[in-house]
């Protein structure tokens, strides 16, 4: 059975990371961050609004600003700004 996002569910948000420097390094790489679903697009349940918990504070990405889209690609291949279900451990 496929999971469906709903308000209050915990998901992972993929941060964008900082721009790549000329030497190929980054100050901050893409990271998975804990996030809570704050709203679900009624016409596209793969697009949600999130409250993201970062080590330095919270970040809000509401549907009104475009929301975040589900990215089911393998770890390491997901787009920054997307969300996915937490991996089973």
Sequence-distant (≥ 6) Cβ neighbours of residue 39 within 8 angstroms? 7, 48, 49, 62, 63, 67
pLDDT digits (tens, 9 = 90+) for 1-31: 689 999 999 999 999 888 889 998 888 888 9
The tokens of 55 are what? 């080590």
The tokens of 89 are what? 């451990």
pLDDT digits (tens, 9 = 90+) for 47-76: 999 999 998 899 999 999 999 999 999 988
Task: Supply the pLDDT for residue 56.
Answer: 87
Task: Supply the pLDDT for residue 53.
Answer: 96
Domains of the chain by residue range: 1-17+29-67
* Prediction pTM value: 0.87
25-38 burial string, b = 16+ CB within 10 Å, else e?
Answer: eeeeebebbebbbb
Task: Supply the pLDDT for residue 38.
Answer: 98
């Amino acid at each position: 059975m496929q999971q469906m996002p709903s308000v209050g569910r915990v998901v992972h948000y993929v941060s964008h990371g900082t721009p790549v420097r000329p030497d190929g390094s980054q100050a901050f790489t893409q990271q998975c961050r804990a996030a809570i679903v704050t709203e679900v697009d009624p016409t596209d349940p793969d697009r949600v609004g999130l409250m993201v918990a970062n080590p330095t504070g919270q970040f809000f990405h509401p549907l009104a600003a475009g929301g975040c889209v589900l990215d089911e690609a393998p770890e390491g291949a997901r787009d920054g700004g997307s969300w996915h279900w937490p991996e089973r451990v």
